[in-house]
Amino acid sequence: MPGGQISDSEPEVMYDLGKSISLVSDENNSVPIERVRKAVNVTKEAVHAISITALETLREGAFFMGVIGSRGELVNPFSHIDAALWSENKLPSDVVESAYDYCEELTRREAGNFYHSFKYLPEEERRSIMAYYAFCRRADDIADGDYVDYFPGGSEENQESIEYRSKIERLIEGVPVLDRSSYNDKMSQLFYYRKKLSTAYGRMTSTDPIFIALKDTVNKYGISRQLLDDMISGMEEDFHRNRYETFEDLYSYCYKVASTVGLVCIEIYGYDDKRAKEYAESWGIYMQLTNILRDVAEDIERDRIYLPIEDLNRYGISEEDLKNGKDILKHPGWKPFVKEYIKRADKYRERGMKLFPLLDKSSRYSPAAMTTFYHSIMKKIEKNHGDVFSERTQLSKTEKIGLAAYIYVRFRFFAL
């Protein structure tokens, strides 16, 4: 948060931006790591590029299609291009619009709660937010799912990729928490994902529709590359760490994977008050804390525990207790732990909500809707006494639509 200042009235559980940055800028580890990450760039000389004139030929051959296939599947309109870059820096408007179409359709299919919070934004902001969502979605799919990102000419055997992950692993000074094959594969994919990201800030342009749209977005709104790089770094952290001893440790992770999202979004939403940044950070922390509690059972299956070990121990809860699934509901410490966890998260929600009046009136609805969706999920978890094991806590389509309509009217027309 600006100046690292929190008033005496703020809850003790808050961590300021200065502290979160210090956590990821450790003198012995993270500063060299960030240098390695920032050095990832792509150049036209290093990879195969295709010219716009070649695209004209492809169009004539009817290869340049829309983003929905004959069976209703999502289709990359440039998937037939076996090249990493366009030779030209500035692309024709129809190419850029096709890229945005792809991102919007991806978001509609995969965003769930988020899509309902994006769809009422003004068109330019909506398209940009969805381009950014697509960027985050695919990075998460690489890290946590089985999505394979394609980079023409790239592989985990590439010397650049090998050197990158070797340097990161050496600086982390720990053993990866994934098996070696999965680690090499996923780290390699994120390495090339960073290369694609570099094209959004350089003279070259990726042939990946997500990064075509993203480049247009970052140019429109002046979005810092550091925020997007930090998000990818948070994904990489999942390959090196699957336990968090303290809440302060967890905060650093949440900042990278969620607060950075809030900080990017407000650049698109529009704001004039610098306090918007500190509130956007808290907003992101709340969203991620909600995700963590909701997904405890799924994470345990992947041998990940994001709940702070120190806090669990205070209530006599062990890792084995968490691995026992529903049986933990009988543990005398679980309900009070969940109650304290939700209370802490709610402090970030309250602080994050201070963001909304600072945003352009046409954009307030979007973060307000996301917050309301997640608050509703938290209330369901609390009502169920912390039972996140029987089934995944989520909102029905009817609930989403009803909440979306209510929030739209409230924040679009009546918010101060």
- CA torsion sign for 114, 115, 116, 118 is positive
Residue type present at position 208: D
Mean per-residue pLDDT for 263-273?
Answer: 96
Residue 416 near residue 356, CB atoms below 8 Å:
no
Residue 65 near residue 171, CB atoms below 8 Å:
no
What span, in angstroms and rounded, lies between the C-alpha atoms of 381 and 392? 10
Main-chain dihedrals φ then ψ at residue 305, nearest 5 degrees: -130, 110
Which of the given ranges, 61-75, 82-96, 107-121, 303-317, has the highest pLDDT on average? Answer: 303-317
Q: Count how many residues are written for the chain.
A: 416
Strands 49-50 and 205-206: unpaired
What span, in angstroms and rounded, lies between the C-alpha atoms of 117 and 405? 10
Whether pLDDT at 16 is above 60? no
* 205-206: strand order across its sheet: 49-50, 85-86, 205-206
Task: Look over the chain and give the mean of its residue pLDDT values, rounded to a whole number.
Answer: 87
What span, in angstroms and rounded, lies between the C-alpha atoms of 250 and 243? 9
The reported pLDDT for the residue numbered 344 is 98
Q: Which two tokens stand for residue 408?
A: 């739209």
Q: What are the tens digits of pLDDT across the range 342-393?
A: 999 999 999 999 999 999 888 998 899 899 999 999 999 999 999 999 999 9
Q: Which two tokens stand for residue 56?
A: 């004209």
The reported pLDDT for the residue numbered 412 is 64
Q: What are the tens digits of pLDDT across the range 130-141?
A: 999 999 999 999
The reported pLDDT for the residue numbered 410 is 75
Q: What are the tens digits of pLDDT across the range 231-251?
A: 999 999 999 999 999 999 999
Mean per-residue pLDDT for 294-317?
Answer: 97
Q: Which two tokens stand for residue 64?
A: 């340049």
Q: Which two tokens stand for residue 32?
A: 């060299």
Domains identified in the chain and CATH numbers: 1-26+243-416 (1.10.600.10), 40-241 (no CATH)
User: Which is more confidently placed, 166 or 23?
Assistant: 166
Residue type present at position 414: F
Buried b (16+ CB within 10 A) or exposed e, 207-226: bbbbbbbbbbbbeebebeee
Q: What is the dihedral of CA 360, 291, 258, 367, to 10 degrees?
A: 0
What span, in angstroms and rounded, lies between the C-alpha atoms of 42 and 199? 7
What span, in angstroms and rounded, lies between the C-alpha atoms of 405 and 118? 12
What span, in angstroms and rounded, lies between the C-alpha atoms of 6 and 366? 26
Q: Can you spell out the DSSP letters for 308-334?
A: -HHHHHHTT--HHHHHTGGGGGGSTTH
Nearest to 276 by CA among 295, 285, 289, 263: 263
Single pTM value for the model: 0.88
What span, in angstroms and rounded, lies between the C-alpha atoms of 214 and 86? 15
What span, in angstroms and rounded, lies between the C-alpha atoms of 287 and 52? 41
Q: Which two tokens stand for residue 50?
A: 């295709």
Nearest to 243 by CA among 306, 302, 175: 306
> Which parts of 89-204 are beta strand (E)?
none
**Cα–Cα–Cα angle for 376, 381, 383, rounded to 5 degrees:** 90
